[in-house]
Amino acid sequence: MSAKSDIVLVSGGAGYIGSHVAHLLRASGFTPMVVDSLVNGHGFAAGPGFRQGDIADTALIRALVRDLRPVAALHFAAFIEVGESVAKPAKYFENNRDKAKIFFDTLASEGVDKIVFSSTAAVYGEGDGLLTEAHALQPVNPYGQSKLAAEEYLRGLPGMASVTLRYFNVAGAAPEAGLGEAHFPESHLMPRIVMPLIGLPEKLLAALGLDKGFAIYGDDYDTRDGSAVRDYVHVLDIAQAHVAALRYLIAGGKSDIFNLGSSKGTSVKEIVAAARSVLARPDFSPPTLPRRAGDPAMLVANSDKAQGVLGWRATRSIGEMIESAAAWHRSETYRNAILGRLA
């Protein structure tokens, strides 16, 4: 494998986070080559040099690696819906664990010895408070369990240098690059708050389950304002962490795990207040419903390790996440992508 290659194989790069990372890689002097089955991704996000295919198609991945000689791989491809993973655990273990193992094995057998892996705070499970990477790993749903299994397999691969990035709540978009979140259905908090406030067609909101508006689940938690606190990170900050992780591995860094969060956290009520102000919707006053079972009061990353080793920290504000998400969800590209799925 040539140490001078600037080519990086990006699985799942037609999805939300992978497409933003590929975009930043291009701007940082790398050449990302996306492989994605488009099971949940989008053609608009795939970028130049895109190859459609499954990560478990060993013949395809082997041919791609032989052809491109990438310096490393970034692995985003996975299913991400926690609720669905509870209803259909086998689907999640097959894609997120078993296919990831096949993908890692194929890469390793072809001489790719550096991988950056997208993991999640869901591997911590019941955590409450400010979590370091040493926090107990007790995922409470098949999504988190399947991601943890892939993490552990990757760490055990002989000769492989890997960086595992455990993201907390990723939000925001890069509308200037024609990129943003286009999940179907949409279960993430930020788009669920923003989208009903920006005048999108009723048909689109209904299809995404957003036509009933947003509600705050629980305002009696032991937090600064009673609502649950989570850790939101702008997708472009997440992308910068990937570029830093890649450079770290190329420089000979050893396998490691990093939390990616803001280290402070934001309450649901604070996001509601920010949305009110950024989107000029003083009338936005969502109802409060009882707590949902299993929702911890506070889930926030301690990201000191990423700052110390990778020189990374999240810099973009909640306001920037809301503003960029609103601009993205108003765009023709977004509407066409979702309405195309409904047609």
The binding site for ligand NAD (CB under 6 A) comprises 11-12, 14-18, 36-41, 54-55, 76-78, 80, 95, 99, 118, 120, 147, 167, 169-170, 183
Helix-, strand-, coil-residue percentages of the chain, each rounded to 5: 45, 15, 40
Please state the closest distance from residue 252 (CB atom) to ligand NAD, in A: 26
Strands (E), the chain: 7-11, 31-36, 51-52, 72-75, 114-120, 129-131, 161-167, 169-171, 216-217, 229-230, 232-234, 256-260, 266-267, 288-289, 298-301
In the bound state with ligand NAD, the residue whose beta carbon lies nearer, of 276 and 335, is 335
Which residues are within 8 A (CB) of 123 and not within 5 positions of it... i.e. 6 or more apart? 137, 139, 144, 147, 148, 151, 166
Please state the closest distance from residue 282 (CB atom) to ligand NAD, in A: 29
Q: Which helix (H) or strand (E) holds 22?
A: helix 16-27
CA distance 320 to 171: 10
Which residues are within 8 A (CB) of 156 and not within 5 positions of it... i.e. 6 or more apart? none
In the bound state with ligand NAD, the residue whose beta carbon lies nearer, of 37 and 262, is 37
Please state the closest distance from residue 184 (CB atom) to ligand NAD, in A: 9
DSSP characters for 84-122? Answer: HHHH-HHHHIIIIIIIHHHHHHHHHHTT--EEEEEEEGG
DSSP characters for 149-200? Answer: HHHHHHHTSTT-EEEEEEE-EEE--BGGGTB----SS---HHHHHHGGGTT-
Please state the closest distance from residue 52 (CB atom) to ligand NAD, in A: 9
CA distance 165 to 227: 27
In the bound state with ligand NAD, the residue whose beta carbon lies nearer, of 151 and 323, is 151
Residue whose tokens read 């609502």 = 227
Please state the closest distance from residue 302 (CB atom) to ligand NAD, in A: 16
Shortest-Cβ-distance residue relative to ligand NAD: 15
In the bound state with ligand NAD, the residue whose beta carbon lies nearer, of 60 and 226, is 60
Please state the closest distance from residue 143 (CB atom) to ligand NAD, in A: 7
In the bound state with ligand NAD, the residue whose beta carbon lies nearer, of 207 and 288, is 207
Which is nearest to 8 in space by CA: 267, 249, 297? Answer: 249
In the bound state with ligand NAD, the residue whose beta carbon lies nearer, of 220 and 340, is 340
Please state the closest distance from residue 161 (CB atom) to ligand NAD, in A: 19
Contact assessment for residue 233 and residue 302, using Cβ atoms and an 8 Å cutoff: no
The residues assigned a catalytic role are 143
CA distance 24 to 242: 9
